[in-house]
Amino acid sequence: MTAPLKHSDPVNVDVALGDRAYDIIIGRNVLASLGERVARLRPGVRTAIVTDRTVAKYWLEPTEASLAAAGIPTSRIVVEEGEISKTYAGLEKVSEALIAAKIERNDLVIALGGGVVGDLAGFAAAILRRGVDFVQVPTSLLAQVDSSVGGKTGINSPQGKNLLGAFHQPVLVIADTAVLDTLSPRQFRAGYAEVAKYGVLGDEAFFTWLEKNHADIFKGGSAREHAIATSCRAKAGVVSRDERETGERALLNLGHTFGHALEAATGFSDRLFHGEGVAIGMTLAAQFSAKLGMIGEADAARVERHLVEAGLPTRLQDIAGFAQEGLADADALMALMAQDKKVKRGKLTFILLEAVGRAVIAKDVEPAPVRDFLKDKLAQKI
């Protein structure tokens, strides 16, 4: 791990993908440099900013000002906040607006927002005129450490999370840690689940550091930049080795098989943020690993304890409206997990743990033990 960064020291993380390599710029107030960086990257470019209503209140005008200062013309496309926009209708709205804005193949789409905006704008860019480049300007912790890096774009189907999409790498990522100051505590905590994930799946030393320093990350100290940079380096390394998730990259889905099913069961609503689903899913993955004898109960308890200390939900019973039909039913959850992108010929694939800091891909997991495990967890008292 690197030494903790100072607020005044932006860091550059390279995503090494040959002629499609790009930089992640991390630091406080680096958003102001967007226009200059875009002008240097693509002289004479036109841009269109895709954002949501909440982010627009805080960061749309500063983003437009940075582009204007560099002489870059831009237009704005504002969508509703949340998963409601990550749909067929949302994709149509953004795509038609980009066409109306006359964004051409040599222009840039700028995704200014959290994971929803990044996925939606990136997918629209991927299919517009058979492919237009885009820039990620992530405004949530979750997006800065996870969804803005690696080129996964897409929308949800009523049948499951992220079932429609494309691999489409950005050409630049600007992760301004100052924008995180405007997040609600719940949004920040949800993003922290993805930070913890990197320690749990592949870096026990980082996880130990998080156990000691997570309070400073939440306060906005120098530990915040360090945690984001470390997370981005971890993801960039995996993406550069396995861009299209044919092997190692699947490890980044730790907690997501359970988590995506829970998001679908709650209707992709604010009852359960994505990061909250990942926190519960990570805990369940650790506990299922212990049930299979892959790790000790103490390791599973360690993962859950840290997430609880960070203020995250870890049990199914922590979800609002837990008793509603479809959420407290093991068979219904199994049906949703059967729609997971990692399912092959009906067999479930889980990311499980051999230790804190060492995840493995478990293919062809039989559904019966998973169903029994879920029934036990669902039977726990609230």
Residue 32 lies in a domain: yes
Report which residue type is found at 291: K
Tell me, what's the pLDDT at 221? 80
Q: What whole-number distance in Å separates Cα of residue 263 and Cα of residue 273?
A: 8
**Residue 155, beta-bridge partner list:** 164
Last residue of a domain, which of 182, 213, 242? 182
| Residue 147 and residue 244 in one domain | no
- For the chain, what is the domain count? 2
Domain with 131 in it: what CATH number? 3.40.50.1970
pLDDT at 382: 61
Question: For residue 5, what pLDDT is reported?
Answer: 47
Q: What is the pLDDT of residue 338?
A: 87
Q: Is 214 annotated as a binding residue?
A: no
Amino acid 326: pLDDT:
64
Determine how many CB atoms are found less than 10 A away from the CB of residue 376: 12
Sign of CA dihedral 114, 119, 120, 122: positive
Q: Is 289 annotated as a binding residue?
A: no
Counts of helices then strands in the chain (DSSP H, E): 14, 11
Contact 351, 201 (CB under 8 A): yes
Same domain, 240 and 360: yes
Q: 177 with 219, same domain?
A: no
CATH number of the domain encompassing residue 240: 1.20.1090.10
Flag whether 366 is in a domain.
yes
Do 155 and 22 have their domain in common? yes
Helical packing angle, 34-41 and 61-69, nearest 10°: 50
Domain end residue (candidates: 153, 182, 211):
182
pTM: 0.92
Active-site annotation, residues: 130, 152, 194, 235, 245, 249, 253, 256, 260, 274
Structure tokens at 282: 């990570």
* 236 is a domain residue: yes
DSSP 8-state assignment for residue 247: S
Q: Are both 220 and 336 inside the same structural domain?
A: yes
Given a contact cutoff of 8 angstroms between Cβ atoms, the answer to whether 67 and 35 are in contact is yes
CB 124 within 8 A of CB 109: yes
According to the annotation, is 311 in a ligand binding site?
Answer: no
193 within domain boundaries? no
Residues 371, 375: Cα–Cα separation, whole Å: 6
Tokens 């790009």, located at residue: 22
Q: Which residues of 158-173 are buried (b: 16+ CB within 10 A; e: fewer)?
A: eebbbbebeebbbbbb
Backbone angles phi, psi at 376, to 5 degrees: -65, -40
140 is in an annotated binding site: yes
pLDDT number for residue 220: 87
Say how many Å lie between the first and final Cα of the chain, rounded: 39
In a domain, 149, yes or no: yes
Question: For the chain, where are the alpha helices, taking DSSP H only?
Answer: 34-41, 53-55, 61-69, 88-100, 115-127, 141-142, 185-202, 204-219, 222-241, 256-265, 274-291, 297-309, 330-337, 367-378
87 assigned binding-site residue:
no
In a domain, 372, yes or no: yes
Residue 203 and residue 168 share a domain: no
* DSSP letter for each residue of 4-22: PPPTT--EEEEE--GGG-E
- Domain closes at, from 182, 207, 232: 182
Binding site annotation covers 118?
yes
Which pLDDT tens digits describe the chain residue by residue (382 residues)? 444 545 557 999 999 999 999 999 999 999 999 999 999 999 999 999 999 999 999 999 999 999 999 999 999 999 999 999 999 999 999 999 999 999 999 999 999 999 999 999 999 999 999 999 999 999 999 999 999 999 999 999 988 889 999 999 999 999 999 999 999 999 999 999 999 999 999 999 999 999 999 999 999 888 999 999 999 999 999 999 999 998 999 999 999 999 999 999 998 889 999 999 999 999 999 999 999 999 999 999 999 999 999 999 999 999 988 876 567 789 999 999 988 766 766 678 899 999 999 999 999 888 999 999 999 999 987 6
In this structure, are 175 and 296 located in the same domain?
A: no
Please check whether residue 288 lies inside any domain of the structure.
Answer: yes
Q: Give yes or no: residues 211 and 167 share one domain.
A: no
Same domain for 20 and 72? yes
The answer to whether residue 6 is domain-embedded is no
Residue 255 annotated as part of some ligand binding site: no
For 15, the domain range is 11-182
Q: Are residues 147 and 290 in the same domain?
A: no
Cβ neighbour number for residue 85 with a 10 Å cutoff: 23
Same domain assignment for residues 102 and 236: no
Q: In this structure, are 161 and 242 located in the same domain?
A: no
